[in-house]
Amino acid sequence: MASPAVVEVRRSDRRRRMVSARREGDTVIVFIPGWMSESEERRWVDEMVRRLERSEAKRRSPGRHGDDALRRRCLELSRRYLGGKAIPTTVRWVPPMRTRWASCTPADGTIRISEKLRDAPGWVVDYVLVHELAHLLEPGHDDAFWALARHYPRTERAMGYLEGLSAAAGLGMVGTDGEPPPELGDDEQAAVPA
């Protein structure tokens, strides 16, 4: 990921040792103790921006680089969470869909993932892939389907992320297949002691 356009430093006299950072849009906000010198501030800002960017890069989906990578990721996720039983014939990125993040046609084994998810964290894309893989085994959204989809450990959190993404963008999407997702999960934040 490219360097952030803006870095904002927030000092706090109540903060004693902890330095933390988070991204808000294109801005990286670095929280530091009020007692730090300007040289320590510069060193910690550089360090926290580097750590945040490295963390974000790790969370990006391995499948974002093309359809072949996306299919390989599907096969790995099928092995890991569905006993290797869900084998898609094709998996591909498609132009943004109006009301869905992804779709699956169980009859021919095709999975389509919206380009809108290319910049989503990898764990969110993984959930969407597992969700669509589960449709290869159980076409509807009945209890048997959800039993399979919930093998992915971050299902609830990813559904909340997608709901928030949809609301923030005003997309009107409610879930992977139009199903309303549950409540939102906690957000992640990088933090280290000074």
pLDDT per position as a tens digit, 145-161: 999 999 999 999 999 98
Per-residue confidence (pLDDT) for residue 193, from 0 to 100: 46
Ordered by start, the domain boundaries in the chain are 6-59, 62-169
Residues contacting residue 181 through CB under 8 Å, at least 6 positions apart: 159, 160, 162, 163, 174, 175
Q: Residue 113 in contact with residue 92, Cβ under 8 Å? A: yes
**pLDDT on residue 189:** 39
Does 21 have pLDDT greater than 60?
yes
CA distances from 124 to 95, 131, 193 (A): 18, 11, 29
User: pLDDT tens digit string along 76-123?
Assistant: 999 999 999 999 999 999 998 878 899 999 999 999 999 888 878 888
Instruction: Output the pLDDT for position 186.
Output: 36
Confidence class for position 176, pLDDT limits 50, 70, 90: low
| Single pTM value for the model | 0.61
Q: Which fold has domain 62-169?
A: Zincin-like (3.30.2010)
191 close to 15: Cβ distance less than 8 angstroms? no
pLDDT in tens, 119-148: 788 889 999 999 999 999 999 899 999 999
Q: Are 173 and 100 in contact (CB under 8 A)?
A: yes
